[in-house]
Structure 1
């Protein structure tokens, strides 16, 4: 089919949550040693490979701790997860501390803890996933056998139990947790499984608490992309832009090039424009192509957009995904966890015919998102470990508060998921909304009002953080301390 041409470059961009910006060299310079950052103490924790067989085979989980700098007033541990599910956390925590992104009050009062989930960093199964993913990339094999052997032990239910084992091993009665993106799935599941052990949980850029499989999640993504396009292209003021953009997309997906006044727009160019329309603010990609896209939509002139896209493609604008061994591992782990976690399994034929569901949710992005994401779990043969839906406040949580942070225009985890997460936790939830800003992962990334709420909550979770909105509509509202040259760990992951 014509739209199979979008594989490769665009697929990696969608898998990375529409993140781009920053070169490989820049990222390498800022990545802290993955074995153990110099500002942390690290070790390995032995846990059951399968929690259904506690006395069976044991595997090692890598973790690191940065000790509280004011021991006399120490509160406890604060465990970070940066999402994915592809991201190791030990190096990410070291990076945040090294770059002074975590407030001093938090560094004083908490042991800051990173745990490399299974399949990441130095923890169990990372090497197996790397080996099969590299072989698949080189045409020498695939990950089917590896998934059969290890995927049932990589799911979110298991990782949550690892987190609780680490809490116990470190001698803590209660857990403090800050999870970004996919990390919010772990945090919300922890609150459901171990509500009596919760002190404070921050869910930043939440996953859906109820979507049952990959297709449902990605249909939600498509709707989120359409909302961002409307925001950036000001459909409320310029409704003709929406009509024209839809005409272009329909033409391209019918198998034809789009004929502008000054030349043709190819399928690849149009698909790239769609992706960059929802790129994160921190990447700079939207600002680079927006004049040309607006010129096309308003004046039917394509030359300026084609030139901007040519420069982007020539420079490798999606260098976030470099094709390195670690990227290949990250893709393999992403697939393993998403498919293992599925609660409602779709047959291959149901996946193949789900395109109408995508298009019903987003006429502009539905078909592209379907092509790029629907088949992730098609043909999955490994055992699953389905995660439960989070539909109501866990009984054991009592009057404890959960802080939820969501972006109105988040390109990876749409705001409707933050609202759903808040509704699931009911009276225990406080929701901080980030408005007029297209990005993902907000705590300790330079947005003052978000950081204030996060810090106040972590220091005293008994106080109710009132629902509020952080308007990031001007440069002055954000310090922009985190730039593409020094990526926040939650903004540089494969997945969510």
Structure 2
């Protein structure tokens, strides 16, 4: 679960975006109309829309269109097993935009036998309608000398976010109020039927694991194979999102410290220098510790992005110089700071605040931020508060809570679902404590990878990681036991 995606990260992970057809296809669960939407990476890619009820309790009422992108299997019709359905996570991430980069992770043996099908959950990305004009402001964060009073930070930041959330809900109410994961799961079952699969083969990544476990509870006998990669917590609600998730980036940095101390030093030394002396930028703003933390947080969950950290640190150091080199560095920092603001942050808030009925008071938000700032001194306070105050201004959004796996009856229902879990030990977005709770819910093996990598299948060259997941997807047979795999450098 990762709220923001930086421009450098998009460059590192994605090779092209969805080229949508000129007009939407009218589709039903029985008849998807696929149209070519090729890209350089995926010249055979096709796109379609699946028409589903806006409200499932009113099946004959208004409809919405869920955007799909398919990269057909490379093998023969006789080789084909079915479709591997995938969601990019978030919540708020547009899967069809990132399908090219993720299909490249998938091994040739999988691509030969499965269509790779991405879908944008209702209200997201290319789905119709989608949230519009819902850019969220960056938090209002104070100077760091003295260190922040988290009560003051919460008060100022939550007020600004509340205004943005209220405006987004006001202008997008008809879609916003039906974006819950419970509805997405019903859509997913219709997608499964529409692509012609009797049972679901699904790669749930990050927030997609919430979709996955809720689907497994609703339709346990309709699952062929489900990879839960980078798990959220299925047994607790909104309160553990900031308390545990807010420490994920600092946990990742502890791993980087052991694995590559020079990179770690570049992070902490740059943070310290900016705490003492932010850099004045030519647009009248400053580049502060907060801006540095935002950049670091976008990079540490992806091991192939680690080398960018000292490069950014060098740019910060150069930003203190005079002359052409300093001018160029400061201009770069302006661009790095002013990242595009899309609708993804609003999607994150809307879905989470529909899925979880619990709310933290302003005092509780400040308290958990202050506590995590001590436990995670680099990003803990800032990230925690961003999670904690996400529902600000959404008091008129009626929750549609997902089921939380708390009972033996629920766990018994999940016990026979063919699921394989995968998680990095120091995942920089979805921490291992969440994955352990997902493992308890399903009582299934987990592929653990010693890394910070958020979503591990195909993101590393480790055969220890990839081989058992490949076998599981191809055969549907769950491995006999868990395993822990050694870190493999992205340069290997």
State the TM-score, normalizing by the size of structure 1.
0.73
Q: Does 1:227 align with 2:251?
A: yes
More relative contact order, 1 or 2 (CA 8 Å, 6+ apart): 1
Q: CA deviation at 1:219?
A: 2.2
Q: Does 1:37 align with 2:62?
A: no
Partner of 1:472: 487
State which drifts further: 400-409 or 304-313.
Answer: 304-313
CA–CA distance in structure 1, aligned partners of residues 336 and 10 of structure 2: 6
Q: CA deviation at 1:457?
A: 0.8
- Three-state SS of the structure 2 residue aligned to 1:376 is coil
Structure 1 pair 258–454 and aligned structure 2 pair: CA distance change class (3 A): same
**What's the RMSD between the two structures over aligned residues?**
4.1
CA–CA distance in structure 1, aligned partners of residues 170 and 184 of structure 2: 21
Superimposed CA distance per residue, residues 84-107 of structure 1 (whole angstroms, 9 cap, x where no aligned partner): 22223334334544xx43222212
Q: CA deviation at 1:304?
A: 8.0
Superimposed CA distance per residue, residues 259-297 of structure 1 (whole angstroms, 9 cap, x where no aligned partner): 9xxxxxx995433454555533323332336799xxxxx
Give unmatched runs, 5+ long, in structure 2: 22-35, 39-43, 138-159, 279-284
Partner of 1:83: 89
CA–CA distance in structure 2, aligned partners of residues 111 and 303 of structure 1: 47
CA–CA distance in structure 2, aligned partners of residues 416 and 369 of structure 1: 17
State which drifts further: 401-410 or 224-233.
Answer: 224-233
Partner of 1:331: 345
Partner of 1:490: none
Q: CA deviation at 1:115?
A: 1.7
**Correspondence 1:267-306 to 2 at 5 A:** 269-275=288-294, 279-280=299-300, 281-283=303-305, 284-288=307-311
Structure 1 pair 84–282 and aligned structure 2 pair: CA distance change class (3 A): same
Partner of 1:21: 8
Partner of 1:494: none
- Three-state SS of the structure 1 residue aligned to 2:348 is helix
Q: CA contact under 8 A between 1:226 and 1:364: conserved in structure 2? A: yes
Partner of 1:493: none
Q: CA deviation at 1:176?
A: 0.4
Partner of 2:31: none
Partner of 2:157: none
Superimposed CA distance per residue, residues 445-471 of structure 1 (whole angstroms, 9 cap, x where no aligned partner): 343322222211101122425312222
Superimposed CA distance per residue, residues 221-262 of structure 1 (whole angstroms, 9 cap, x where no aligned partner): 232222223333349999xx9xx98x969x95xxxx479xxx
Structure 1 pair 149–274 and aligned structure 2 pair: CA distance change class (3 A): same
Partner of 1:7: none
Partner of 2:127: 123
- Three-state SS of the structure 2 residue aligned to 1:208 is coil
- Three-state SS of the structure 2 residue aligned to 1:200 is strand
Partner of 2:418: 401
Give unmatched runs, 5+ long, in structure 1: 1-12, 260-265, 293-301, 479-496
More helix by share: 1
Structure 1 pair 236–108 and aligned structure 2 pair: CA distance change class (3 A): closer
Match of 1:49 among 51, 54, 62: 54
Q: Does 1:430 align with 2:417?
A: no
Partner of 2:148: none
Structure 1 pair 304–112 and aligned structure 2 pair: CA distance change class (3 A): closer
State which drifts further: 55-64 or 26-35.
Answer: 26-35
